[in-house]
Structure 1
Amino acid sequence: MKWKMKEVVLAVILSVACGVIYLGWSTLWIPISALVGPVGAGFMFGIWVIASPIVAYIIRKPGAAFIAEVAAAAVELLTGSHFGLSALLVGVFQGIGSEIAFALFRYKRYNLFTLMLSGALAGVLGIVYNLVANGFGYYTTGVFFATLAIHIISGAILGGWLGKVVVDALAKTGVLEQYEIMKQTRKKGEINGNISRM
């Protein structure tokens, strides 16, 4: 499926906006992590993957989730993230995880379950990155499973569910009328209308 210029522009705008949010979230993570520890601060994780479900939900094309997450992570890096290059590298892994959720359904399902699965799988692949980058001794067994569980839950809620809430709110303003999300919504409305008249 070919991307239209307006889709590219929207993906860039949203990815840049998310990247700036990621940077602010990274800054906030420092004091919170100091207070509750890195595992406890894991509940914040989901915001770092919200670009993927937001852009994929609107544009509904293969690669949208991956591109959005990598672009947002690149913006976070370039705007001065204290995580340095790892902000971009983990973004690649998270983007792959997020993309897998949509690929599993052949890019035909963009409901709440798929969006939450996207955030959850981004969490799984984010942990995979940590293992690759830091080695298997990075976590004790208990810390590993606790961190994994927190990241999956946070990714599903703050990434997937919140991403849907944000996009649905945007859709109500009419700014997404020319994008695939609204085209498919109108199509479903027509089908349901025809069924009810039968």
Structure 2
Amino acid sequence: MATTTTEAPATRRSITATRPLLGWRTVDILTVTFLGAAFGIVFWGWAFAYDPLAKAVSLAYVPLSGLFAGPWFLAAVVGGLVVRRPGAALLCEVVAALVSMLPGTQWGATTLVSGVLQGLGAELAFALLGYRYYRPLAAVLAGVLAVPLEWVFETFSVPASWADVPVLGALTGGGAWYGELLPRDKVAYLVALAVSGALLAGVVGWLLTRALARAGALSAFPAGQEEREAGAV
């Protein structure tokens, strides 16, 4: 009696950027800049939605406001997933922070500081994966690691001597937004930020990148090639 065997489908691989990874192309620079600028406009708009949401949940428990911070990490996640070169996540997040800061926000120059810190964290995630793995878990990890440095910045006051330095004083405000929280509440805020980073930056960032790839907007990038290979199976 004849038997048939079904071969398991091969695991979809992550396609990396062309080597050398530090050899940025003009299209890479332009795309990161465009994405960052687009997310900067989104960030600026999200500030208007964030404020009432954060205040509403803070009436119950202040650390819950961290659940709405995830969208501000999106630029780093998407920038890293699209360009897949060292520095892409950081650059995209910094451009987004700068663009969102220009029209004016309630956080002033600290917006740019947050962009640098969040971008560095997301960049670390892609670096830990060797700039070789770009599946959903990579996006989630980038969203989560965008949190720790930002959390330190928001919850721990800077030394008083820093506030006396004109530039540092302007950037840090000489204090922390959540510096008065009890240690357990600071930890709860960290958890809330991480959950938001995983879901609203990691998962949403992955889905947004896939949507752009399916629309043909990323044909010059590995994400677009992955989508073409998936459609050919």
State whether TM-score is above 0.5: yes
Q: Distance in 2 between matches of 1:127 and 1:86?
A: 13
Q: What per-residue deviation string (whole Å, max 9, x for no partner) do you get for residues 12-48 of structure 1?
A: 1111111111111112122222222142221111100
1:163 matched to 2:163: no
Indicate if the aligned counterparts of 2:214 and 2:227 stay in contact, CA closer than 8 A: no
* CA radius of gyration, larger in: 2
Deviation for aligned residue 1:187: 6.8
Deviation for aligned residue 1:183: 3.4
Task: Read off the aligned partner of 1:81 and give its amino acid letter.
Answer: T
Partner of 2:44: 23
More helix by percentage: 1
Indicate if the aligned counterparts of 1:7 and 1:59 stay in contact, CA closer than 8 A: yes
1:181 matched to 2:202: no
Partner of 2:151: 127
Q: What per-residue deviation string (whole Å, max 9, x for no partner) do you get for residues 42-98 of structure 1?
A: 111110000011111111100001111111111111121111011110111111110
Q: Distance in 1 between matches of 2:43 and 2:215?
A: 25
State the superposition RMSD in angstroms.
Answer: 2.0
Indicate if the aligned counterparts of 1:19 and 1:76 stay in contact, CA closer than 8 A: yes
Task: Read off the aligned partner of 2:110 and give its amino acid letter.
Answer: S
Task: Read off the aligned partner of 2:147 and give its amino acid letter.
Answer: G
TM norm structure 2: 0.76
Higher mean C-alpha deviation, range 180-189 or range 13-22: 180-189
Q: Distance in 1 between matches of 2:179 and 2:118?
A: 21
Alignment of 1:91-130 (within 5 A): 91-130=115-154
Partner of 1:141: 183
Task: Read off the aligned partner of 2:139 and give its amino acid letter.
Answer: L
Indicate if the aligned counterparts of 2:124 and 2:145 stay in contact, CA closer than 8 A: yes
Q: Unaligned regions of 5+ residues in structure 2, if any?
A: 1-21, 159-171
When residues 180 and 36 of structure 1 are mapped into structure 2, their CA distance, relative to the original with a 3 A threshold, is: same
Q: Unaligned regions of 5+ residues in structure 1, if any?
A: 194-198
Q: Distance in 2 between matches of 1:160 and 1:98?
A: 10
Helix, strand or coil at the partner of 2:132? coil
**Which of the numbers 105, 109, 122 marks the counterpart of 1:85?**
109
Indicate if the aligned counterparts of 2:40 and 2:98 stay in contact, CA closer than 8 A: yes
Q: Distance in 2 between matches of 1:59 and 1:66?
A: 11
Helix, strand or coil at the partner of 2:146? helix
Indicate if the aligned counterparts of 2:213 and 2:227 stay in contact, CA closer than 8 A: no
Deviation for aligned residue 1:139: 2.6
Higher mean C-alpha deviation, range 125-134 or range 65-74: 125-134
